[in-house]
Chains A and B, each alone.
Chain A
């Protein structure tokens, strides 16, 4: 798609374009964090609770760290957790969903009961339990979110594959002697990919929220890591005296989730034929 095509798509779906713009901005901030941040994010070398001003654009926190630098580095952490956990979790869900729907029978029954069990537990409780077992670290946050995302993605993908499985072209491929592997790779997978992409974009915002929630509760990233949730948690003790410490990471979380949700909605609209044809 060239620039003119992009502009046309943006005019057609302005909210999606706004989401894409926000996400692109966050990705740039995360990639350029070492250049953009004026101070190391863990360096507590400044006076505590300095109000936003010319020296510190977002002020300093309770330990004397530059809030702007931590928010910038926090984007890197949030996007790392968001992208990694979603990529792994949704991909696992994709494979799980295709396998369970295509195989059917006992394998489908057993794996779907596992999904039932995992989905019956409230996600945040499951995440807290997992983090309590795994211990606080960024990689463990990724594992916990992967375990949260994979079953729901598997259930969604399974429902799509069950529909595809009964189509005439699958029956025809099998009648012509195609192996099951070939049918899955050549005929099932391409038809599931749009849903996969939608799940990817929609869930990044969810993963960022989950990471922030876990860090807020002290079970996410280690306390000195510049995590937006962790920053919010530390800011609770000085809401009245230093509200900026809470305000900026809170805004960053909202902006990131807003951006990914708008982008995810736009992808869903584009890939849903009913909405695309104006029937939705």
Chain B
């Protein structure tokens, strides 16, 4: 029942978004041709969809690769076959069999077979292979797999898991070519972008543009409608807005969401040409602490930061009010798996006014550093991170932590974080791979999680995360996640959840058939999008 409520809430959100996005009417026939223009908010750098976590990497390669399953472009709430034409699950819920399409070719003309799926799974599930998104999701679930024949693959799970099919359908779990892996070693470079998707990788000009062109041998007949997609790389907010106002962008659907002031400006300049819509973002903003280095290897200092950060101030001043503060799970996405907001907002750290929490935070800092402590706060210099980080630095100063801000170019920042070469990340957003409540804990809090940059490890959290994944009874599952949230909100934590981000996007009215996916990562292949003339 509760699970149904959660599903209904997501479906309602998608439906609300769809009602506002210009869709093709029943009478309209899709028109072929045209190049869709949009933007990526940072230069992706390395393009390996399996090893990288930045959203720009996923955006840059979304139309190039296919998965076994994906979210139906016509109805993104539904998961359908992509490279697998169908799949079956065993009665005990522990074995899934995927039957592959036989008519698929890679962009270089090589045939697609089960060997490619096997090479992909071998790569993703190898214990030494670092795959912070797809691999991190699948490794704890999958016991093994085998190729039944040239076009059938069977995957066995450790235990029944309701998040397995959404994970396989996730935009990060794409199937890559065995012969390309053998040739290039990884998928980092543009020449390794050989997929089976609706578009071919045409051009990557660092810091400027990424272009796709139509795959005329795509295995789904009749699509794509577009001749290509052009992604401009626009890093600064004012440049992005200027490009949108000047009509260089037909679609703003990924990241960052539009601020209210930006929506007002766009509607003043292009009000008759565009439709503004809201869509689920399912992305969390967080301050992260390196728990392996002083001073945040000390639990008291972590608690001090947790108490001292004023989430509401950051959201109001730097995020235009477009986020829901404090919660570890977004009730709009996961329903009553999330703790009630009223409960969270009364807890230390989130409660307002902040005086009591700041006093306690100062006391904790002074206990270990009577004269305060100097640290370096790192951020990637993208979107509104710089503004948020300045507020974090200002708030830390109030509790005796003097932070110096250090900015990094997007890809360089991820590299630093991945190596653990930081003390505090002043802000970092993480988009969820699926809408399952386990996602945020799998990505950010579990030992070894892909976005657990501070290398935090807590046995109780790991145990609860494991229980939450395995539990099939939804009421018991909800209890596990409530316990997990209460523990993280009141005991120890590797950082501070600032809030779940909300926001608006726009599409030009001539962009038809674009449907937002259940997460920001889904349904951005533009396979069925077309441009009305």
**B394 pairs with A43, CB closer than 8 A:** yes
Q: Write out the residue numbers on chain A whose beta carbons fall within 8 Å of the beta carbon of B391.
A: 44, 63
A44 with B407, Cβ < 8 A, contacts A218-B236, A223-B386, A238-B261 known? no
CA distance A136 to B387 in the complex (A): 16
A36 contacts chain B at the CB level, 8 A cutoff: no
A222 contacts chain B at the CB level, 8 A cutoff: yes
A237 with B317, Cβ < 8 A, contacts A63-B390, A223-B405 known? no
Q: Write out the residue numbers on chain B whose beta carbons fall within 8 Å of the beta carbon of A13.
A: none
A139 → chain B closest CB, angstroms: 12
A244 → chain B closest CB, angstroms: 17
A222 with B394, Cβ < 8 A, contacts A63-B317, A237-B261, A241-B261 known? no
**A42 pairs with B238, CB closer than 8 A:** no
Q: Write out the residue numbers on chain B whose beta carbons fall within 8 Å of the beta carbon of A43.
A: 394, 397
Using CB atoms, name the residue of chain B closest to A237: B238
**A136 pairs with B390, CB closer than 8 A:** no
A224 with B393, Cβ < 8 A, contacts A62-B317, A136-B407 known? yes
A64 contacts chain B at the CB level, 8 A cutoff: yes
**B381 pairs with A63, CB closer than 8 A:** no
**A42 pairs with B393, CB closer than 8 A:** yes
CA distance A3 to B386 in the complex (A): 49
CA distance A259 to B250 in the complex (A): 47
Mask for B389-400, Cβ within 8 A of A = 1, else 0? 111011101000
A184 → chain B closest CB, angstroms: 43
Q: Write out the residue numbers on chain B whose beta carbons fall within 8 Å of the beta carbon of A191.
A: none
CA distance A236 to B242 in the complex (A): 12
CA distance A42 to B389 in the complex (A): 12
**B236 pairs with A42, CB closer than 8 A:** no
CA distance A86 to B327 in the complex (A): 51
Using CB atoms, name the residue of chain B closest to A223: B386
A193 contacts chain B at the CB level, 8 A cutoff: no
A223 with B317, Cβ < 8 A, contacts A42-B397, A237-B261 known? no
**A44 pairs with B390, CB closer than 8 A:** yes
User: Which of A44, A236, A237 has a CB less than 8 Å from the CB of B394?
Assistant: A44
B51 → chain A closest CB, angstroms: 26
CA distance A224 to B237 in the complex (A): 17
A214 → chain B closest CB, angstroms: 13
B318 contacts chain A at the CB level, 8 A cutoff: yes
**Residues B377-415 near A (CB distance < 8 A):** 381, 386-387, 389-391, 393-395, 397, 404-407
Using CB atoms, name the residue of chain B closest to A225: B405
CA distance A218 to B393 in the complex (A): 18
CA distance A237 to B318 in the complex (A): 12
Using CB atoms, name the residue of chain B closest to A65: B394
Q: Write out the residue numbers on chain A whose beta carbons fall within 8 Å of the beta carbon of B404.
A: 222
CA distance A63 to B310 in the complex (A): 13
Using CB atoms, name the residue of chain B closest to A40: B397
A45 contacts chain B at the CB level, 8 A cutoff: yes
**B397 pairs with A223, CB closer than 8 A:** no
A48 contacts chain B at the CB level, 8 A cutoff: yes
**A223 pairs with B407, CB closer than 8 A:** yes
Q: Write out the residue numbers on chain B whose beta carbons fall within 8 Å of the beta carbon of A223.
A: 386, 389-390, 405, 407
Using CB atoms, name the residue of chain A closest to B241: A237
Which among B316, B386, B387, B390 has the highest number of chain A CB atoms within 10 Å?
B390
**A62 pairs with B387, CB closer than 8 A:** yes
CA distance A64 to B316 in the complex (A): 11
A63 with B318, Cβ < 8 A, contacts A43-B394, A218-B381, A238-B261 known? yes
Q: Add 17 more A-B contacts to A44-B394, A223-B386, A223-B389 (CB < 8 A).
A: A42-B393, A42-B394, A42-B397, A43-B394, A62-B387, A63-B387, A63-B394, A136-B407, A218-B386, A218-B407, A222-B405, A222-B407, A223-B390, A223-B407, A224-B405, A236-B238, A238-B261
Binding site for B on A (CB under 8 A): 40, 42-45, 48, 62-65, 135-136, 218, 222-224, 234, 236-238, 241
17 interchain pairs, CB-CB under 8 A: A42-B393, A42-B394, A44-B391, A44-B394, A63-B317, A63-B394, A65-B394, A218-B407, A222-B406, A223-B390, A223-B405, A223-B407, A224-B389, A224-B394, A224-B405, A237-B237, A241-B261
The 3 lowest CB-CB distance pairs between A and B, nearest first, are: A44-B394, A224-B390, A222-B405
